[in-house]
């Protein structure tokens, strides 16, 4: 059995679903940020696999995934800073404690 596009796409889907599950299930803001990272990395797996199997003559997918990695790093940097700022206010990073604004 050779490893093909399908396998990579299944891996990407599983990673994405795990990330989404983490975002909804975890209560700690840090764990949620990790879930978001999983989702973004699932996209990277997709992009690289598509680049290799669908359009190998160009490198658009690889370039796209480099951009995704850079932006994800920036997002996490801001995210952790915000977690510190909320921790100073509430002495907690539990998202259940974020209930001052309610619709």
Partner 1 sequence: MNFSLLSSEMLAAGLGTGLLILGLIAPKTENRRGFGYITAFGLLAVLVATFFQYGINQSTFHELWIVDDYSVFMKQVFIVAAILVVLSAVDFVETLPRFRGEFFALIVYALLGMMVMASANDLITIYVGLELMTITFFVLVAYQLGDGRSSEAGIKYLILGSVSSAVLLYGMSILYGLTGTTTIPEMLTKLTWSPILVVAIVMLIGGFGFKISLVPFHMWSPDIYEGAPTPITAFLAVASKAAGFAVMVRVFLLGLPLEGAVDWMLLISLLAGITMVIGNVVAIPQTNIKRMLAYSSVAQAGYMIAGLMSMDAPGVKGILFYSMIYVVANVGAFTVATLVRRALDTDTIADYAGLGQRQPLLASTLTICLLSLAGIPPLSGFVGKFYIFQAVMDKGILWPAFVGFVMSMISVYYYLNVALYMWRDDPKDDRPVPVPGPAKLVIVLSLVVTVVLGVYPGPLGELATMAAKSLF
Where do contacts with partner 1 occur on this chain (CB under 8 A)?
Answer: 9, 12, 16, 19-20, 23, 29, 32-33, 36, 39-40, 42-43, 46-47, 49-50, 54-55, 58, 60-61, 63-64, 67-68, 71, 74-75, 78-79, 82-83, 85-86, 89-90, 95, 98, 100-103
Q: How far is the CB of 84 from partner 1 (least distance, A)?
A: 9
Quickly list DSSP for 66-100: HHHHHHHHHHHHHHHHHHHHHHHHHS--BGGG--S
Helices 29-53 & 60-90 angle (0-180, nearest 10):
180
Q: How far is the CB of 1 from partner 1 (least distance, A)?
A: 22
Q: How far apart are the first and last CA of the chain?
A: 53
């Amino acid at each position: 059995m050779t490893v093909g596009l399908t396998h990579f796409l299944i891996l990407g889907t599983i990673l994405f679903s795990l990330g989404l599950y983490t975002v909804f299930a975890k209560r700690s803001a840090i764990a949620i940020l990790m879930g978001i990272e999983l989702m973004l990395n699932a996209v990277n797996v997709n992009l690289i696999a598509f680049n290799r199997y669908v359009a190998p003559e160009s490198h658009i997918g690889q370039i796209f995934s480099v951009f995704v990695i850079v932006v994800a790093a920036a997002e996490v940097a801001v995210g952790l800073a915000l977690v510190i700022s909320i921790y100073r206010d509430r002495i907690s990073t539990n998202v259940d404690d974020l209930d001052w604004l309610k619709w």
